Amino acid sequence: MKNTVLLIFMFICLNVSFAQNTISYTLNHTPNSKKITIELAFDTTSTDTLKLVIPRSAPGTYELTNYIAFISNVNGYTTSGKILKGVVGDGSFFFFKEKNEVLKKISYEVDINKMEMTLLGSFASSKIRDNYLGILGYAVFGFIEGFENESIVLKVHTHKDWSIFSTLKPSVQRNKGTELYKVDNFALLADSQLLLGDAVQVYQVSDSKIPLFVAVYSETTINIEEIGRRGLLSLKKLTEYFGYVPMPHYTLCYEFLNPVSEMHNYGFSMEHLNSMTSSLNVSKAILEPNDKAIGGIIHHMAHSWLPLRSFGTGYKPFEWQTAPIIETIWLNEGFIWYISYYHILDNKAVLQFFKRTINQAPKYIQDKSLKELSVLGSTQYSLDFRIGKNLFSRGALLAHDLDHLIQKETNGQKSFRDAILGLLKWTEENNKAFKYDEIEAIMSEYTGVDLSSVWHKWQKPLKN
Ligand SMILES: [Zn+2]
């Protein structure tokens, strides 16, 4: 009897805590409008402390993006029926001037068209067309400070005839008009993409180890099956290299777009936990089979292993209100460039490209240590792509030197692959980011080779 009472008590507590800890997000989209509305409903919270934070960056973008500039009409709804106007704070957040009010809901508008017209790098922007809405999670979803780790229910409402696709739960069977997703926390919501509209094509690749999808919006003719074939080929090659697949499913999201202005640039792609996004000019339409054109897919898919599942300080947990300092961009990018091109695609000549890049770098880049260059790249990796290229080139050449030393010292029994698998294993066991000073020790431990000489050589500026 006692136990039964206790069990009932625990059951009530669990239910109450579930109800308290789930935030309801609703994305409302009306076709023909260039804006969307987002609503957050939550456990009652005082205006004294409440901040609605809008992301200013995202893992892997290595740039500061002022998403708050595209948000307007922030309203707070009190338990007593009042509607309060949100105002912009000192950083990337809204707050409410009225004190001692209790809010239960916030809504705001996001001007998707203004976002696309303002952000010249097409990879950072959501897109809206007459028959398409492409949403990058971090470009539209904000969060209430302190609630980042609460679970989320996302409801999507659009035109009754529009199909809804999400990388959170990819499927060729798409509901129309409304859809609902459950997400463990804000970081996973921010990492996801939504593709809405009757112009979106979805294709599931058969014979894949994990469910593999292609979701495309295109303003020209494309061959979606060929994109899927390239995705499957890339996945197979990466599986051979790493020996396992950590993603439960994977989606290749593509946009082939007529440029919205001459100033806009297309071609950068972005990695996500279980997907990649690529915004390309219509002139880059994928039509014909080409096994050599898979470098971009291999690179971005490989990021699902590293850094998305093994990472240095700053990458995760992510400081959404700023573009945080990340000291390991050379590792995130360089190690993946090295294994993608040198090993998986067997392009040995890529080393010459890396060497040329660092030798031709401007003085302000050559003068910086590896860590200093990464700190600089934390906000301007692609803005001045010489910074980005030098980061991945130095990281790739460091990886190559490590590879050479490991193979030499172990008579070919081990290689750089064991170092990268060591980093992945370490993160799995420790469930946290590695610190800068731990990287060499982790790789030395897992390969059984003292890697300190190569490590220290590459830490220095190229020219003192
Ligand atoms: Zn990359």
Q: How far is the CA of 298 from the centre of ligand 1 (A)?
A: 10
pLDDT above 60 for 12: no
pLDDT above 90 for 378: yes
Q: Strands 132-136 and 71-78: what pairing?
A: unpaired
pLDDT given at position 17: 39
92-104 confidence digits (pLDDT tens): 999 999 999 999 9
Q: How far is the CA of 141 from the centre of ligand 1 (A)?
A: 23
Q: How far is the CA of 270 from the centre of ligand 1 (A)?
A: 7
Query: DSSP secondary-structure letter at 284?
Result: G
Q: How far is the CA of 33 from the centre of ligand 1 (A)?
A: 34
pLDDT given at position 159: 95
What token pair was written down for 424?
């992945």
> Are residues 216 and 226 in contact, defined by beta-carbon separation less than 8 angstroms?
no
Please give the single-letter amino acid code of residue 139: A
Among residues 77, 87, 82, the alpha carbon closest in space to that of 44 is found at 77
For domain 201-302, the CATH superfamily is: Neutral Protease Domain 2 (1.10.390.10)
Write down the domain spans for the chain.
24-197, 201-302, 329-459
What's the pLDDT band for 31 if we cut at 50, 70, 90?
A: confident
pLDDT given at position 6: 44
129-181 confidence digits (pLDDT tens): 999 999 999 999 999 999 999 999 999 999 999 999 999 999 999 999 999 99
- What strands lie across the sheet with 87-88, from one edge to the other? 87-88, 93-95, 52-53, 143-144
- The pTM assigned to this predicted structure is 0.94
Q: How far is the CA of 333 from the centre of ligand 1 (A)?
A: 5
pLDDT given at position 290: 96
CB atoms within 10 A of CB 282: 16
Same topology, domains 24-197 and 201-302? Answer is no
| CB neighbour list of residue 187: distance below 8 Å, 6 or more residues apart | 148, 316, 317, 318
pLDDT given at position 383: 87
Q: Strands 151-157 and 22-29: what pairing?
A: parallel
What token pair was written down for 342?
């040198």
Separation CA 315–CA 285 (nearest Å):
33
Cis omega before residue 362 (within 30°)?
Answer: no
Fold of 24-197: Immunoglobulin-like (2.60.40)
> Are residues 246 and 188 in contact, defined by beta-carbon separation less than 8 angstroms?
no
Q: How far is the CA of 233 from the centre of ligand 1 (A)?
A: 19
Q: How far is the CA of 335 from the centre of ligand 1 (A)?
A: 9
Separation CA 123–CA 103 (nearest Å):
35
pLDDT given at position 464: 57
Separation CA 453–CA 464 (nearest Å):
19
385-442 confidence digits (pLDDT tens): 999 999 999 999 999 999 999 999 999 999 999 999 999 999 999 999 999 999 999 9
